[in-house]
A = this chain, B = another copy of it.
Amino acid sequence: MSLSNSEEQLMQILWKQKQAFMKDLIEAYPDPKPAPTTVATLLKRMQDKQFVDYKQQGRSRKYFPLVKKTDYFAKHVNGLIKNFFNDSASQFASFFTETTDLSKEELEELKDLIDRQIKNK
């Protein structure tokens, strides 16, 4: 089960805050902010999908993510790779470097990073 768009948006906020009460979440929305009930519905659905949980903190709930942003993200990227590049990550990688336009510096940085990875193998 994966997150819908508006759930994902909320998840972004939660990831950023690490943990938050309703109020904090709503505040973090850009205007026009959704109704509290809307956020509540989303949170409940996200609980059902096992993406968030909460701890009762006094009278209200402190919500927190159950999945790490990077894990969630990795799954996404892998999905994309599977879909668009017949499961070839390297094909994806080359596509990526060609398409997104990185500056020379960024490319150098990336190269170093890859170098380090190579040495790690």
Instruction: Give per-residue flags for A85-108: 1 if the beta carbon is below 8 A from chain B beta carbons, else 0.
Output: 000011011111111111110111
State which of B78, B93, B100 has its C-beta within 8 Å of the C-beta of A110: B93
Of A20-28, A34-42, A55-63, A113-121, the one touching chain B = A113-121
Find out whether the CB atom of B109 lies under 8 angstroms from the CB atom of A90.
Answer: yes
Q: Which residues of B contact A29 (CB under 8 A)?
A: none
Tally of this chain's copies: 2
> A50 an interface residue at 8 Å Cβ cutoff?
no
Q: Which residues of B contact A81 (CB under 8 A)?
A: 100
Per the CB 8 Å criterion, the residue count for chain A at the interface is 40
A38 → B minimal CB distance (Å):
20
* 10 residue pairs, one from A and one from B, having the closest CB atoms: A90-B106, A89-B100, A104-B121, A74-B99, A93-B110, A111-B114, A107-B118, A73-B84, A94-B113, A89-B102
